[in-house]
Chain A
Amino acid sequence: MKSLQARLGASLALGITCLWLIASVVSGLVISHELGEAADSALRVTAQQLLAITRQAPPLAGDRPSAATSTRPASADAAAYLPGNESAVRPEQLHELAEIYSLLGFAIRDVDGRVLHSGGSLPDALLEARPAGGFNVIEGHRVYVESSADQQRWILIAEPSHHRDEINHGAIRVLLLILPFLVPLSLLLVWWMVRRSMRSVTEVQQQIESRGGNDLSALQTADMPRELAPIAESVNQLLARLARTLESERNFTTNSAHELRTPIASALAQTQRQIASLPDGAERLRARRIEQTLQELSRTCEKLMQLARAESGSMVGDETCNVFPVIDYLLGEFNSVLREESRLQLQCPNEERFETVLDFDGMAILLRNLIDNALKYSKPGTPVIVRLDSAANRISVCNQGACVPPEELAQLKARFKRGSGAQGGAAMGAGLGLAIAETIARQAGIVIELHSPARGRRDGFEASLSTR
């Protein structure tokens, strides 16, 4: 199952990482663009300064040969502003020019293309080039060309592109170097924030988890965040509604039991009084048949009530408890009704304990049906053994009688499937006893195993209950 906290954490971390990468790329591009503009501006200013500096200076033979050198006139005055003749310029200009010429190259030409002045590291190709005015990229250099105000001279100044690339790369490298530290740190921060933010959700989750399926009490909504409170309130409304529905279902079953049982009891009692007052004969026989029918109706009614209760699932609790007292009580009740106390026997070699989540009523209905069947389908007078093995948490009800064929055994838990071997004139059942037992057992995580012959015997039938 997916964790909301993990999903939220991962999404936020991934989002932050992606945003950081995009921001780095954009920053790199912006830095590159801004640095380019600044460098271009510096190149243009330098070009203008050089044009201004050399305006009054006579042409000077460059300190390096070029294709245009042969046309380049020499000028001693101009040399005073240029490297090799530093005494003619101010000291700060000398410093600036020294820095500039270590990176730049330039050439100043007249209108005829003759090189009046040149300097720095200017490739030969650029010395001969005649590019248009403005900025250009030529031979791995950023080139700027500008004419003087009188249009008599023009300057070409070039800066190697790799110099700018180094600056850009340096800036981008700094951005990227932060990432290995920043991404894990942001992930950690995200995890902590998500965990902190999800604490309220976790508390609601624990509140719901800690209760069993039968705890319908309201969730605590005090100090709950505004976003969660409506959910908890809706859950509480649902729980309250469910509790009312279950209570009404229970009341309906109880009221139905009362409303059905009382008229049957009344009819049966009056019939029995009628039988007592009638002489032997056809009338008495007819009254006996009515009595039998009413008794069958009573049994069917009881089974249907048990089935309704079993299907409602209201007999399963949240915690296991020892239901031995109800087993003991039930056996005592059976024995008091049977008045043959030796028939139903309890064997309990270990501790008197059977743990289950079923409540007393559920356990009583479950065991009562198994005992009813064991008595009904056993040889008259033979014992029916209820064996409780507390070590294995198992109860078995075992009788003596004819074996149940395997194909019939496999279908005995189906509804309205009647066993074929009722003994001693026992009334035919409704075929619901084992179906009711199976429904209750399944809800409580109890497994009912049927064996015929009973284990350790050559005859009989055994139904055993064990928890999973």
Chain B
Amino acid sequence: MRILLVEDNQPLGDAVREQMLGDGHATDLMPSLAEARACLGTTAYDLILLDMMLPDGKGITLLQHLRQREDRTPVIILTALDQISDRIAGLNAGADDYLVKPFDLAELSARVGAVARRYTGNPNPTLQVGELTIDLNKRVVKRHERSIDLTPREWALLDALLQRLDATVSKSRLESCLYDFGTEVESNTVEVHISRLRKKIGREQIQTVRGIGYRIASAHPS
């Protein structure tokens, strides 16, 4: 997934970004509402991690703005405001989840996964795709009961394809899932990683839709 992280505390932002990258999500860290708005104007994100108290305003205004323009991008609020009324206000404004600082990064990863799955219409964290058993929570892929090790970028590609089961995911969208904002993208990077992923999980699992992108078919929830 491609995630927009809006957090003004640089060390915290870096740690969260690193965690998300480790989970295979390309993450752009923006320290203010203005910069976040600029990013949202140019890039399609799969999920937004939004701090509430930012130097140039409250995060909830950005959330309200998104929902007013019918943007359904999942939003998880990360905030130091711990009152239940703040949480209810955040959720009422259209947030998908609410995490109070300080939080465990593992819990954040789980929440991100849960929200992403909810948006794909399959809240079950365990998927059966052909011979593959995939646990999205634990980030484990097994084939015939044998675990397959994936790099974060391979996992990011697999995750992006699993989010749109039976649908074609464009190459550009897969590219955006692989790289941080601003990183130079080479023309064949997606192909290289798809090729490696195919070797690990089976060539037949990922289909190429020529000129458009890739897809994973025949996925059946366990």
Contacts and interface: CB of A to CB of B under 8 A. Distances in A.
Nearest to B137: A339
A270 B105 CA distance: 9
Contacts of B14: 270
B101 A261 contact: yes
B15 interface: yes
B102 A265 contact: yes
Interface string B94-119: 00000011111111000000000000
A88 B19 CA distance: 147
A264 B102 contact: yes
B53 A258 contact: yes
A276 B22 contact: yes
Contact of B102 (A269, A326, A330, A337): A269
A269 B12 contact: yes
Contact of B19 (A273, A326, A364): A273
Nearest to B78: A265
Contacts of A294: 102
A302 interface: yes
B12 A361 contact: no
Contacts of B11: 266, 269-270
Given A272-B15, A273-B105, A276-B22, A262 B84 contact: no
Interface string A352-372: 000000011100100000000
The interface residues of chain A, by DSSP majority, are classed as helix
Contacts of A260: 80
Contacts of A330: 84
Contact of B81 (A258, A263, A270): A258
Contacts of B80: 257-258, 260-262, 265
A85 B16 CA distance: 142
B81 A326 contact: no
A373 B162 CA distance: 41
A261 B15 CA distance: 15
B102 A360 contact: no
A305 B105 contact: no
Contacts of B18: 273
B189 interface: no
A298 interface: yes
Interface in A327-361: 329-330, 333, 337, 359-361
Contact of B85 (A262, A267, A337, A359): A359
A341 B82 CA distance: 23
A361 B19 contact: no
Contacts of B87: 333
Interface string B1-24: 000000001011011101100100
Nearest to B103: A265
B88 interface: yes
Contacts of A337: 107
A266 B15 CA distance: 8
Contact of A257 (B15, B19, B82, B103): B82
B83 interface: yes
State the main secondary structure of chain B at its contact with A: helix
A364 B22 CA distance: 35
Contacts of B84: 326, 329-330, 360-361, 364
A35 to B, nearest CB: 87
A295 B12 CA distance: 15
A268 interface: yes
Contacts of A202: none
A74 to B, nearest CB: 125
Interface string A260-299: 1111111111101100100000000000000000110010
Contact of A262 (B12, B88, B105, B107): B12
B101 A273 contact: no
Nearest to A297: B102
A411 interface: no
Nearest to A368: B84
Contacts of A295: 102
Interface in A194-232: none
A87 interface: no
Given A262-B12, A269-B19, A360 B88 contact: yes
Contact of A270 (B15, B53, B82): B15
Nearest to A264: B102
A237 interface: no
Interface string B66-98: 000000000000001111110110000000000
A261 B100 CA distance: 9
Interface in B21-65: 22, 53
13 contacts: A254-B81, A258-B53, A263-B9, A264-B101, A266-B11, A269-B12, A269-B19, A270-B11, A272-B19, A305-B82, A337-B107, A360-B85, A361-B83
Interface of B: 9, 11-12, 14-16, 18-19, 22, 53, 80-85, 87-88, 100-107
Per CB-CB distance, the 5 closest pairs between chain A and chain B, nearest first, are: A269-B15, A265-B102, A265-B101, A261-B80, A364-B84
